[in-house]
Chains A and B, each alone.
Chain A
Amino acid sequence: MSKPKVAFYWCASCGGCEEAVVDLNEDILGVVQAVDIVFWPVALDFKRQDVEAMDDGSITVSFINGAIRSSEQYEMVELLRRKSKIVIAFGSCAHLGGIPGLANTFDRAAMLKEAYLESPSVTSGNTTIPQTEITVPEGKLTLPELWDTVKSLDQTIKVDYYLPGCPPPANLIKEAVTTILEGRLPEPGTILAPDIALCEDCPRRETKPDKLIIEQFKRPSQYIIDPDQCILAQGFLCLGSVTRKGCGAVCIEGNMPCTGCMGPTSRVKDFGAKAMSAIASLIDADDEEKITKIIDGMADPVGTFYRYSLPASIIHRSYQKPDGGGAHNGA
Chain B
Amino acid sequence: MSDTAHKTDGFQPRIVAFFCNWCTYTAADLAGTARMTYAPNVRVVRVMCSGRLDPQFIMEAFRNGADGVLIGGCHPGDCHYQAGNYKALRRYILLKRVMKEMGIEEGRFRLEWIAASEGDKVQRVINEMTETIRKLGPLHLEPVNIPATAHVQVGTDKAAVAARGGVS
Given A288-B89, A319-B139 in contact, is the A327-B103 Cβ separation under 8 Å? yes
When the two chains form their complex, are residues B103 and A319 in contact, meaning their CB atoms are under 8 A apart?
yes
Q: Which A107-122 residues sit within 8 Å CB-CB of chain B?
A: 107-109
Cβ distance A73 to chain B, nearest Cβ, rounded Å = 10
Binds A, one of B3-11, B28-36, B90-98, B117-125: B90-98
When the two chains form their complex, are residues A324 and B56 in contact, meaning their CB atoms are under 8 A apart?
no
Given A145-B153, A286-B89, A324-B157 in contact, is the A276-B94 Cβ separation under 8 Å? yes
Q: Which A275-331 residues sit within 8 Å CB-CB of chain B?
A: 276-277, 279-281, 283, 285-288, 291-292, 295, 298, 301-302, 305, 313-322, 324, 326-328
Binds B, one of A82-90, A147-155, A227-235: A147-155
When the two chains form their complex, are residues B94 and A74 in contact, meaning their CB atoms are under 8 A apart?
no
Interface residues on B, range: 35 or more
When the two chains form their complex, are residues A301 and B56 in contact, meaning their CB atoms are under 8 A apart?
no
Closest B residue, CB atoms, query A110: B157
When the two chains form their complex, are residues B151 and A78 in contact, meaning their CB atoms are under 8 A apart?
yes
In the complex, chain B residues whose CB is within 8 Å of the CB of A60: none
Closest A residue, CB atoms, query B53: A277
| Residue among B93, B138, B140 with most chain A CB within 10 A | B93
Closest B residue, CB atoms, query A109: B157
Q: Contact mask B83-113 → A, CB, 8 Å, 1/0? A: 1001101110111011001111100000000
Closest A residue, CB atoms, query B111: A288
Inter-chain CA distance A21–B131, complex, in Å, is: 55
In the complex, chain A residues whose CB is within 8 Å of the CB of B97: 295, 301
Q: Does A274 contact B (CB under 8 A)?
A: yes
When the two chains form their complex, are residues B59 and A276 in contact, meaning their CB atoms are under 8 A apart?
no
When the two chains form their complex, are residues B104 and A320 in contact, meaning their CB atoms are under 8 A apart?
no
The one of B56, B83, B87, B138 that contacts A273, using a Cβ cutoff of 8 Å: B56
When the two chains form their complex, are residues A274 and B157 in contact, meaning their CB atoms are under 8 A apart?
no
Q: Does A48 contact B (CB under 8 A)?
A: no
When the two chains form their complex, are residues A314 and B60 in contact, meaning their CB atoms are under 8 A apart?
yes
Closest A residue, CB atoms, query B165: A322
Inter-chain CA distance A272–B59, complex, in Å, is: 11
Cβ distance A115 to chain B, nearest Cβ, rounded Å = 15
When the two chains form their complex, are residues B103 and A328 in contact, meaning their CB atoms are under 8 A apart?
yes
Inter-chain CA distance A268–B89, complex, in Å, is: 21
The one of A74, A281, A313, A328 that contacts B59, using a Cβ cutoff of 8 Å: A313
Closest A residue, CB atoms, query B77: A286
Q: Does A205 contact B (CB under 8 A)?
A: no
| Residue among B60, B139, B150 with most chain A CB within 10 A | B150
Cβ distance B168 to chain A, nearest Cβ, rounded Å = 8
Q: Contact mask A134-169 → B, CB, 8 Å, 1/0? A: 000000000001011101000110000000000000
The one of B56, B89, B146, B157 that contacts A314, using a Cβ cutoff of 8 Å: B56
In the complex, chain A residues whose CB is within 8 Å of the CB of B104: 315, 319, 327
The one of A132, A279, A295, A319 that contacts B141, using a Cβ cutoff of 8 Å: A319
When the two chains form their complex, are residues B63 and A147 in contact, meaning their CB atoms are under 8 A apart?
no
Cβ distance B155 to chain A, nearest Cβ, rounded Å = 8
In the complex, chain B residues whose CB is within 8 Å of the CB of A291: 89-90, 93
When the two chains form their complex, are residues B102 and A324 in contact, meaning their CB atoms are under 8 A apart?
no
Inter-chain CA distance A105–B158, complex, in Å, is: 18
In the complex, chain B residues whose CB is within 8 Å of the CB of A148: 157, 160-161, 163-164
Q: Does A207 contact B (CB under 8 A)?
A: no
Inter-chain CA distance A314–B62, complex, in Å, is: 9
In the complex, chain A residues whose CB is within 8 Å of the CB of B76: 286-287
Cβ distance B129 to chain A, nearest Cβ, rounded Å = 18
Known contacts A132-B154, A273-B59, A281-B90; 12 further A-B pairs (Cβ under 8 A): A149-B164, A272-B98, A276-B94, A295-B93, A315-B102, A315-B104, A318-B102, A319-B141, A319-B142, A320-B142, A321-B137, A327-B104
Please list the residues of chain A having a beta carbon within 8 angstroms of any beta carbon in chain B. Answer: 68, 71, 74-75, 78, 105, 107-109, 132, 145, 147-149, 151, 155-156, 268-270, 272-274, 276-277, 279-281, 283, 285-288, 291-292, 295, 298, 301-302, 305, 313-322, 324, 326-328
- Between-chain CB contacts (< 8 Å), 28 pairs: A74-B151, A105-B101, A108-B160, A109-B157, A145-B153, A155-B144, A155-B145, A156-B146, A156-B150, A273-B95, A274-B55, A281-B90, A286-B86, A287-B76, A291-B90, A295-B94, A301-B98, A314-B59, A315-B62, A317-B142, A319-B139, A320-B103, A322-B140, A322-B167, A324-B157, A324-B158, A324-B161, A327-B104
Q: Which 5 A-B pairs have the closest CB atoms?
A: A319-B103, A327-B103, A314-B59, A273-B55, A322-B166
